[in-house]
Amino acid sequence: MKKFRYGVHYLLLFIPLINTLIKKIQVARFSQMIGVLLGSGISVVQAFKVAAESIEHPVYRASLEKIASSIQGGENIGLYLEAHPRLFSPLVTQMITVGEETGRLDKSFLSVSMFTEEEIDEIIKVLTTLLEPVLMLVIGGLVGFVAIAVITPIYQLTSGIGG
């Protein structure tokens, strides 16, 4: 069941527009979490482990677990993020890399979170704007279908009486 769930979530990352929203939501969630944890004094490895346990998306969960193990091995976070552009945008990668180099990783993760949340708000505004005309057409079609379904039997009944 876990492999199936992982596969479904992985395939969702290939659907245009949906994948952008999923990526941004997941990045905002884990970067907020990691930023707060690092700001409170928890080690980087432990912060990634905690974030991995609390993220529901299985692809991002596995990715955060791999980042935690690679950090223990002495690798940089930015190198891992750069190697996985399907999950992490270049902007996120650059911001985290700068945070690593300056020693302000907590501030960097919080900045990524704030920036990504603003992008999510913009995407949702665009989607709701696009969804309104589509809903109007669907509702209009349903009303038209119901009207025809009610009027057609009445017309057939009255034409049968008159003939």
Q: Is residue 8 part of a domain?
A: yes
Q: Average pLDDT of 20-31?
A: 93
Residue that has been written with the tokens 């980087």 in this structure: 44
Q: Rounded mean pLDDT of 15-42?
A: 92
Q: Does some domain include residue 66?
A: yes
Q: Which of 7, 12, 25 is nearest to 124 (CA)?
A: 25
CATH number (domain holding residue 6): 1.20.81.30
Number of domains in the chain: 1
The SS3 assignment for 163 reads: coil
For 62-123, the DSSP string reads HHHHHHHHHHHTT--HHHHHHH-TTTS-HHHHHHHHHHHHHT-HHHHHHHHHHHHHHHHHHH
pLDDT mean over 107-127? 94
Encode burial over 125-145: b for 16+ CB neighbours within 10 A, e otherwise.
eeeeeeeeeeeeeeeeeeeee
Q: Is the pLDDT score of 51 beyond 90?
A: yes
Residue type, 154: I
Predicted local confidence at residue 2, as pLDDT? 84
Q: Which residues are CB-neighbours of 24 under 8 A, at least 6 positions away?
A: 116, 119, 120, 123
pLDDT higher than 60, residue 163 = no
| Structural domain contains residue 31 | yes
pLDDT at 115: 95
pLDDT score of 17 = 81
Query: Is the per-residue pLDDT at 80 higher than 60?
Result: yes
Q: What is the pLDDT of residue 74?
A: 86
Would the pLDDT of 50 be above 90? yes
Residue 60 clears pLDDT 60, i.e. is over it: yes
Count of C-beta atoms within a 10 Å radius of residue 115: 17
Residue 153 lies in a domain: no
Give yes or no for a contact between 110 and 32, defined as CB atoms under 8 angstroms apart: yes
Give residue 159's pLDDT.
83
- Tell me: pLDDT of 157 over 90: no
Position 105 in a domain: yes
Per the CB < 8 A criterion, the answer to whether 105 and 82 are in contact is: no
Q: Is the residue at 141 inside a domain? A: no
Percent of the chain past pLDDT 70, that is, above it, reads 99
Q: Residue 159 domain-assigned?
A: no
Range of the structural domain that residue 72 is part of: 2-119
Share of the chain above pLDDT 90, in %: 68
Q: Is residue 126 part of a domain?
A: no
